[in-house]
A and B are shown apart, each in its own frame.
Chain A
Amino acid sequence: MAKLSAEKTGKKSRKEKRRLLWLSVKKNKACYAMIAPFMIFFVIFTVVPVIMSLPMGFTDFNMAQAPKFIGLSNYTTLFLSDRIFVKSIRVTIVFALFTGPVSYILCFLLAWLINELHPKLKTVFTLIFYAPSMANVYTVWQLIFSGDMNGYINSFLINLGLINAPIQWLTDANYVLGVTIVVQLWISLGAGFLALRAGFQNIDRSMYEAGAIEGIKTRWQELIYIVIPSMGPQLMFAAVMQIVSSFTAGTVAQNLVGFPSTDYRAHTIMTHAYDYGWVRYEMGYSAAICMILFIVMYILNKLISRVLSKYMD
C-alpha cells in the first residue's frame, strides 16, 4: 500500500507528498501500535547507545574525562604502527575461516540429520548438540587440556605411549590457537543450529508428499529440491549468527589460554579491543577497532545475503 502511494507521489509537489506520507502513516497506525512496545525498549537501550558510540572511534576517550576529538588518528595508528593489531587481524581471519564455515555446515548437516529421526530421539539429540552452548564449562576444558600429566589429553596420550612428556596445550605458542578453535567449535552449535532445527520442523509435510509423487526418491534429492529452497530465511539467520560468533570471538581464548595468550597467538581483534578498552582504558582506540570489525562483518553479511537471496521470498 505504502509503495503504491509512494509511486504516485513521484510527480506531485513536496507538500502533497508529505500529506500522503502522513495519510499512509495514519492508515497503518495499527502497525505502529504493534511494533511500539519493542521499539521503545530497542531505541532506548540499543539504538541510542549505538548512535552515541559511533563517533567515539574519532576521539581520545579514557572514561574519566570527556572524549576529545582527534580525527582519524586512531585509525592511522591502528594500521601504521600497531603491530599487534595487524597480528590480531591474521589470527581473527584464521580463526573465522576455521570456525565459521565448518560450524555453519555442521549446524545445517546435524539439524537435517536429526530431522530424519524419530520424534523422541530428535529432542535428545538436539539437546546433546545444543547443550555445550548452554554450559559455562571453561574449567573442565582447562582440566582436559591441562599442561601437567593430570590433563585428560596428556594422560591419554602418555598411556598410549605417543608422547613421553606432557604437552603444554594452553601455553605452547604452537597449540593455543588450535585449542581455542576446538573449544569454539564445540560451543558453536548454538542459535543458528536451533533456528535451523525449528525451520526443518516448519516445512510443510505436503511438500514431501508432492515431492514423492513427482519422483523424488532419496534423502539427498529431498534435501536439494525441497528442504534447502524452503529454508532460506533460517539459513540467513544462521549465517548472521555465524558471522557474529566467528568474528567477535574472544572470550573463549581469554578464559582458556589466558590473556594475553602466549606470543599473542590467540589474540583476536575483539581481544585487542578488550585489551585497550577495559585494561588500558583507551576507549576511543577500542571503539575504532570495533568499528573496523563491524565494517568487515557488514560487507560479509551483504555478500552472504546476495548468495542466499534466491531462496528468500
Chain B
Amino acid sequence: MQTAVNIDKIKGSNRQAGKKIGGTVAIFIFLAVLGLFMVLPIYLTVVMSIKPVEELFIFPPKLYAIRPTLNNFSDMFDALNSNRVPFSRYVFNSIAVTVSVTVLQSIFASMAAFVLAKCKFPGSKLINSIIVVALLYQSNVIYIMQYIVMAKLGLIDNPLALVLPSIASPMGLFLMRQSIGQIPDAMIEAAKVDGAGLFRICWQIVMPNQKPALMTLVIFAFQAAWNIQTGTLVFQEQYKTLPTVVTQAASAGLARAGVAMAAAVFMLVPPIVVFMLAQRQVIETMAHSGIKD
C-alpha cells in the first residue's frame, strides 16, 4: 500500500502532471466513442426485447421502445413452462453444470499450468507443445470421435456427458501457463528451501499472485459452461440445460424476433454478473502485487 502511494507521487512529479490528465481525458473520449459503437447492437437487443411485436417492423425503426412491454419475456417463460419439466429444473441443471465445470476447470488447469511452467520433468516439453497443437487443431471429425469415446464410456444420455469433456480446457491451461511463467524462479526456489511441497507452493505462493489470470480463466470457463448445449449427448428432458430450451423457445425466425431478443438478454445476465465480480478482483490485484525479482 505504502509503495503504491509513493509511485503515484513519483509519476506525478516526474511528468508534467497537467499534460497527463489531458491525455487521460483524450483516452476516455476515444474509448467512449468506440464503446458506443460496440454496445449499440447489444443496446438494440435490449430495446427490441421490450418492444411489442407491432413496433419491431415500423419505418423508420426506432432506437427506443414507444410502449415498452415485458410480453416477450413472459412469452419466452410461457414457452419454457409448457414443457413437461418445470422451468426451475433447467435452471438447476444449468447451474450444476456451470459451477462444476468452472470450479474443476480452474483448479485442474491452475495446478497443471504451474507444474508445466515452472518444473522440468520427463515429458513436460512434449505436453507443452501438445497443448498448443490441441488449440490449433479444429476439425469436425473430433466431435464424432469424442462422441464415440463417450459412447464407449457409457456417457450418452448421462448428465455427466455435459460436464466431463469440458473440464480439461487447453485454452485455460495455456493462459495460466503463459502467466505463471512470468513469476521469478527465485520466489519458488525460496519456498522450496523453506520446505513447502509443490501443492502448497502452487496455492499459497503462486496463485495469490495470479489473480488476474485466474479470474480471466474463471470468466472464460463460466461463459463456455453456461452455453453448453445438450445437443446429441443427452435426450431426457429432465437433463436439458437452459441454452438448449431457450434456443428452442426462440427459434422461429424473424417472426419471433422479440422472443429471441428476450432470450438473448436473459442468457446474457449471468455471464455479465460473473464478469463484473471477477473483473473487480483482477483490478484490485494491482494495488498489492508484491513480486520482486
| A residues neighboring B (CB under 8 Å) | 1-3, 21, 24-25, 28, 30-32, 34-35, 37-42, 44-50, 52-53, 56, 63, 110, 113-114, 116-117, 119, 121-123, 125-132, 134-137, 139-144, 149-152, 155-156, 158-159, 186, 189, 191, 194-195, 197-199, 201-202, 204-206, 208-209, 212-213, 217, 219, 230, 233-234, 236-237, 240-241, 243-244, 248, 270, 273-274, 277-278, 283, 286-287, 290-291, 293-294, 297-298, 301, 312-313
How many residues of chain B get a CB closer than 8 Å to chain A's CBs? 112
What is the bound-complex CA distance between A31 and B213, given in angstroms? 21
Q: For A186, list chain B residues within 8 Å (CB).
A: 38, 41
- The yes or no answer to B260 lying at the interface (CB within 8 A) is yes
Q: What is the predominant secondary structure among interface residues of chain A facing chain B?
A: helix
Q: For A117, list chain B residues within 8 Å (CB).
A: 24, 27-28, 31
What is the bound-complex CA distance between A119 and B259, given in angstroms? 36
Chain B residue, CB-CB nearest to A57: B141
B141 touches A277 (CB 8 A): yes
B141 touches A140 (CB 8 A): no
For residue B275, give the distance in angstroms from its CB to the closest CB of chain A: 6
- The yes or no answer to B145 lying at the interface (CB within 8 A) is yes
What is the bound-complex CA distance between A139 and B153, given in angstroms? 38
For residue B185, give the distance in angstroms from its CB to the closest CB of chain A: 9
For residue B100, give the distance in angstroms from its CB to the closest CB of chain A: 12
Query: Could you name 18 residue pairs across A and B whose Cβ atoms are closer than 8 Å?
Result: A2-B121, A28-B122, A35-B115, A35-B116, A41-B167, A42-B168, A46-B134, A50-B145, A113-B30, A140-B44, A144-B44, A152-B44, A195-B216, A197-B282, A198-B216, A278-B140, A291-B139, A294-B138
- The yes or no answer to B261 lying at the interface (CB within 8 A) is yes
Chain B residue, CB-CB nearest to A236: B178
What is the bound-complex CA distance between A143 and B254, given in angstroms? 9
| B residues neighboring A (CB under 8 Å) | 3-4, 6-7, 10-11, 14-15, 20, 23-24, 27-28, 30-31, 34-35, 38-39, 41-42, 44-45, 48, 56-61, 107-109, 111-112, 114-116, 119-122, 124, 127, 130, 132-146, 148-150, 153, 164-165, 167-168, 170-171, 173-175, 178-179, 181-182, 197-199, 202, 209-210, 212-213, 215-216, 219-220, 223, 227, 254, 257, 260-261, 264, 267-268, 271-272, 275-276, 279-280, 282-286, 289, 291-292
For residue A203, give the distance in angstroms from its CB to the closest CB of chain B: 9
